[in-house]
Amino acid sequence: MFGWGEAGKRHPLNSVHQPGERPSREQAARRNAPRSRSTRPAQVVEIEGYSVTLLRKPIRNAYLRIKGPDGHLEISAPLKMPSAEIAALVSRRRAWIEMWRARYNSNLLEGKSIDTRHWSEERKKAAREVLDERLARLLPHWTLIIGKRPTAIRYRLMSSRWGSCTVNTGIIRLNLVLGELDEDLTELIIVHEITHLWVSGHGKEFRERMQAYLPDWQERRHRLDEHQLF
């Protein structure tokens, strides 16, 4: 997953469905249970001076996310987690929250913040056409070099990730926004996601492969990270 989650932008490109993420039998049973019994309605509460949307769910750990252009906080917390522990989580993440908000504001001034809401059909079509044209050149090249081929490439307008790869099905999803950015950033995501067909995480082997395929991948990634999606 590539999300502005608890992990912030630690792995903005990461979108592989890890084997460990598969629901256990217990989780699957919970998921199939009537929602009303397990998940409570969202509440907006004040925590540590922030307005926070609090979701109580049958989960083991609490997660803090920053949502939307205004940096609104959303917390998913286990059903019985005491409020004091939730407040402590917010308190621990205060620097990160402030950094994100400051970064968002400066990106907004620099025009690097990209609103993925309300795209017109024309805008989507234009981005799709750019990506189609790029992929027609990039895919044959990179599938040959990397030695893996996705079964399908799909486009989707996303506010939380640039791409994803479902290893089981071999399907790669690309954020339509890439069609509005430089081509070498589309290439970065293509190479990143195809590489996941060999390696699922972002560990040593993954980084070594990226380094071999695209020696300037880190620089490209930093440039991509300057664009804040919402």
Distance in Å, CB of 198 to Zn ion, minimum? 12
Distance in Å, CB of 175 to Zn ion, minimum? 13
Stretch that binds Zn ion, among 7-15, 97-105, 106-114, 152-160 (CB under 5 A): 7-15
| 36 versus 168: smaller Cβ distance to Zn ion | 168
Distance in Å, CB of 165 to Zn ion, minimum? 7
Using CB under 5 A as the binding rule, whether residue 64 contacts Zn ion is answered as no
C-beta separation of 89 from 63 below 8 A: no
Using CB under 5 A as the binding rule, whether residue 13 contacts Zn ion is answered as yes
Instruction: Tell me how far apart the alpha carbons of residues 93 and 50 are, in angstroms, rounded to a whole number.
Output: 12
Strands 171-175 and 152-156: parallel
Any idea what DSSP says for residue 140?
Answer: H
Diameter of the chain measured on Cα atoms: 54
C-beta separation of 47 from 86 below 8 A: yes
Task: Kindly write out the interface string for residues 17-46 of this chain, putting x where it contacts Zn ion by CB under 5 A and - elsewhere.
Answer: ------------------------------
Any idea what DSSP says for residue 18?
Answer: -
Using CB under 5 A as the binding rule, whether residue 127 contacts Zn ion is answered as no
Distance in Å, CB of 15 to Zn ion, minimum? 5
Using CB under 5 A as the binding rule, whether residue 76 contacts Zn ion is answered as no
Residue nearest to Zn ion (CB): 14
Stretch that binds Zn ion, among 11-19, 55-63, 137-145, 220-228 (CB under 5 A): 11-19
Using CB under 5 A as the binding rule, whether residue 160 contacts Zn ion is answered as no
Q: In which residue are the tokens 């490439």 written?
A: 153
Distance in Å, CB of 9 to Zn ion, minimum? 13
Q: Which of 154, 155, 69, 145 is nearest to 112 (CA)?
A: 69
Residue 87: what residue type? A
| 77 versus 187: smaller Cβ distance to Zn ion | 187
What residues form DSSP beta bridges with 163?
Answer: 174
Beta strand spans in 60-151 (E): 63-67, 72-78, 113-114
Stretch that binds Zn ion, among 9-17, 51-59, 75-83, 89-97 (CB under 5 A): 9-17
Instruction: Tell me how far apart the alpha carbons of residues 152 and 173 are, in angstroms, rounded to a whole number.
Output: 8
Q: Of 3, 4, 12, 14, which one interacts with Zn ion (CB under 5 A)?
A: 14
Q: How many residues bind Zn ion (CB under 5 A)?
A: 2
> Residues 106, 108, 113, 117: is their CA dihedral positive or negative?
positive
Q: Which residues bind Zn ion (CB under 5 A)?
A: 13-14
